[in-house]
Amino acid sequence: MRNSSIEPTLNQERSKMLQQWQDWLEIPMLVLSFTWLGLFIVELVWGLNPLLEAISDRFLKEQFLNSLEIDSGPVFYF
């Protein structure tokens, strides 16, 4: 059984900790988002280098093939 006098304090502590995490992560997430945006723009303008393109192709091919797996019988490719 919980003590009802402890719950408000516990909720306040949780809120305080959540706010601290949110404040601490705000700047790194902002930097990460602008870095991602910059890389995305570079990719659109100049394209990927051959190594990154090969990695991307392999990853996308694996994801596509995994999405075709069906548990209810064989998969037929046409």
Over residues 13-47, the pLDDT tens digits come to: 999 999 999 999 999 999 999 999 998 898 889 88
CA distances from 69 to 1, 49, 56 (A): 49, 31, 21
Number of structural domains found in the chain: 1
pLDDT in the model for residue 38: 92
More confident residue, 5 or 49: 49
Asked if the structure places residue 77 within a domain, the reply is no
Asked if the structure places residue 73 within a domain, the reply is no
Q: Does the pTM of the predicted model rise above 0.75?
A: no
Model confidence at 2: pLDDT above 70 = no
Asked if the structure places residue 21 within a domain, the reply is yes
Asked if the structure places residue 51 within a domain, the reply is yes
Please name the residue that has the structure tokens 């306040």: 12
Asked if the structure places residue 78 within a domain, the reply is no
Q: Considering only CA atoms, give the Rg of the chain.
A: 24
Asked if the structure places residue 15 within a domain, the reply is yes
- The residue range of the domain holding 45 is 7-67
Asked if the structure places residue 26 within a domain, the reply is yes
DSSP 33-77: HHHHHHHHHHHHHH---HHHHHHHHHHHHHHHHHHT--TTS----
Asked if the structure places residue 2 within a domain, the reply is no
